[in-house]
Structure 1
Amino acid sequence: MVTLEQDLGTVPVATGAVPRSDRGGALAVARRRLYLPFLLPALVSYLVLFILPSLFGVALSLGSWSGLGTEFRWVGIANYVELLRSRVFLGSFTNTLLLTIVVGLVIFLIACASMIVLREMRGSALIRSAVFIPFMISPIAVGLAVSFLFNPKGLVNGVLSLIGADGLRQPWLGPDLVFSVIQVGLVWSIAGFYVVLLMSAVDAIPPSLYEAARLEGATLFQQFRHITFPLTRDMMAVAATLWVIAGIKTFEIILAFTGTAGTPPLEARTLAVEQYLRVTGGRAGGLSQLGDAAAIGVVMTVITVVLILFSRRISRREGVEL
């Protein structure tokens, strides 16, 4: 037997044995060798399917190109400068932010109210299923249905005339109101998903906490503030991230409002719609502008990352354990 001097004293080690630190290093190397064959296919797939196309999009945003068969020409940041000077792009940018923020706030107010009311309501499972149904309907169908409802001769104005409220009849799909109507349709179609998502987190909270709160005389709002909200904060952060991504990409429901009448009006366009029009040549001139469209895609990605970081920053608190 021989001994090795270590920090904790003299430890006997059999001749030829590997020191503990060396064994740990060897074990770590062995683990890395084991992980690599499993991780490599996923890493290669992610690189080929996501990273490389993203880098190509960034490179494309620095050039002028109308597609296959045309010459690609480097223009630097000229596409971004043109976007900042474009009234159409700035309007789409503003609409996208408004839609993401306003609709997001309304959706989460509805979800929070549901977390207070549905938790103890009989038949809450049936109500959850009912409010989730609109989310399963195609956004194109939702857009068409809402546009028919708010048509000047549609159901909304018809009901207002029937009850003698002709003064409330409006050109709902006119330039001043069409974007608000789109937001109403979007809230109706997507709020149920976030209600169900957040209620799944509420179901995981032990009922004993609410029973103790009731014994202390806490109101429903106080129970939400001190129990429900702290214990569902992580799920709210996930829901906020999902909504930011979905809000920035809002496209189908807006296109459905136009139907076959032409391109969506400027007052109703979002960045996704404007990007689509530049790719397909649906703008003035009728030529595909892939460089401009790629620049809009980069802007959308930056906005998404900024809003996600902002929402995570707001919701970041010390974790609460049950």
Structure 2
Amino acid sequence: MVAQLTPPLTRAPARVSGTTAEHLVGKKRLFWPFLLPALALYVAFLVLPTVATAVLSFTHWAGAGDTPTFTGIDQYAQMFASESFQDSFVNTLVYVVIGGIGTFVLAFLFTTVLRDMRGGKLVRAILFFPNIVAPVALGMFLGFVFKFQPGKQGMANFLLEHLGLGAVKFLQPENVTWAVTGSIMWASAGFYITILMAAVDRIPPYLYEDSDLAGASPWQKFRHVTLPLTWDVVGVAGVLWTINAIKIFELVFVLAGPGTYSPPIRAWTLGIYVFDRSFGTQGTPEYGTACACAVVMIALVSVLVVLLRRLMRRDAIQF
């Protein structure tokens, strides 16, 4: 007896209707016409300038009328050895790390309070207000707040004197970095409060109700409910902070150096260093050194963002 094996049934591929096929072909035809203009602008205004900056960082160039001279890594060696660059690099890291920690602590504190607060959306809008003010105008305002002038003090020293404390020269080169750090924390907290509150608003209320029934403290609710369920948003906010803090320029320039072409060296950031090498040398520009510092800024952003994303990596929690 011979057994006959029946071949497995194969399902015929579903036929695509003529209308659907035409629609897909039409989408493919529109892909490149829509993509090419954006891609051309991206290459022209981002990719090519970035490549040109990297190439010029290995040259000595004084601008129009001068021919770039290849110098290898001399620009980098001189830059890293200069005291002005070292101060700029340290100050920038202070803004990124210390300012970032302070900003997110404030943001989390306000987020915890505003979640259960009546009229929290109005308070959120008020806290966001400093972010819509131009940094130059904000710096001018803070300059009056931190003003040191006996008999005509700014608001900060006025309050210190009425509390029986001595006035502080906030805008002196040795103090201005910390004054700017506090100003950045105050000005930026509202932006990150808004981002974190948007993430908190999507958390189901019953999770907080269950925590209340279990007798959880505010810290426990934040640690076990709020933070895990907003972790992905916190990571994105951390990346945004890192990028914005590294390129800080206007606020420091206005607060630390009003009426001068450049702030004192001890108050510089990497952005101000690039400006000074390009326009503030009061002599021959050093575009090669400025480009070298810009490359360092790009590398610093890349390294910090990658590290931050790795540190913040965890499995998404579904709720």
Name the TM-score class by shorter chain: 0.7 to 0.9
Change (3 A) 1:12 1:145: closer
1:142–1:185 contact (8 Å) kept in structure 2? no
Structure 1 contact 143–182 (Cα < 8 Å) conserved: no
Matches within 5 A, 1:51-90: 51-90=47-86
Q: How far, CA to CA, are the matches of 2:215 and 2:192 in structure 1? A: 30
Work out the CA distance in 2 between the residues paired with 1:305 and 1:29. Answer: 39
Q: Deviations over 1:39-96 (max 9, x none)?
A: 3333222222211111111111111111111122111211111111111111101110
Q: Tell me the residue number matched to 2:241.
A: 243
1:1-322 to 2 correspondences below 5 Å = 9=8, 11=10, 35-153=31-149, 154-155=153-154, 156-165=156-165, 168-257=166-255, 258-280=257-279, 282-283=280-281, 286-322=283-319
Q: Contact 1:143/1:253 (CA < 8 Å) preserved in 2?
A: yes
Distance 1:83 1:29, change over 3 A: farther
Distance 1:303 1:29, change over 3 A: farther
Distance 1:121 1:33, change over 3 A: same
RMSD over aligned Cα atoms? 2.4
Instruction: Name structure 1 gaps, 5 residues minimum.
Output: 1-7, 20-27
TM score, norm. by length of structure 2: 0.88
Unaligned runs of 5+ in 2: 1-6, 16-23
1:29 shift after superposition: 10
Q: Percent identity?
A: 36
Provide closer, same or farther for how the CA distance between residues 208 and 159 of structure 1 changes in structure 2, counting only shifts above 3 A.
Answer: closer
- 1:248 positional shift: 0.3
- 1:171: how far off? 1.9
Distance in 1 separating the partners of 2:313 and 2:98: 22
**Cα distance in structure 2, aligned partners of 1:262 and 1:12:** 76
Q: Matched residue pairs, number?
A: 302
Between stretches 229-238 and 168-177, larger displacement belongs to 168-177
**Does structure 2 conserve the Cα–Cα contact (< 8 Å) formed by 1:111 and 1:198?**
yes
Q: Distance in 2 between matches of 1:314 and 1:291?
A: 35
Deviates more, 1:34-43 or 1:53-62: 34-43
- Is this contact kept in 2: 1:142–1:253, CA < 8 A? yes
Does the residue aligned with 1:316 lie in a helix, a strand or coil?
coil
* Kept after mapping to 1: 8 A contact 2:84/2:266: no
TM-score by length of 1: 0.87
Pair 1:180–1:18, CA change in 2 (3 A)? closer
Q: Deviations over 1:129-152 (max 9, x none)?
A: 111111111111221222222222
1:211: Cα distance to partner? 1.0
* Partner deviation per Cα, 1:188-217 (whole Å, 9 max, x = no partner): 111111111111110111111111111121
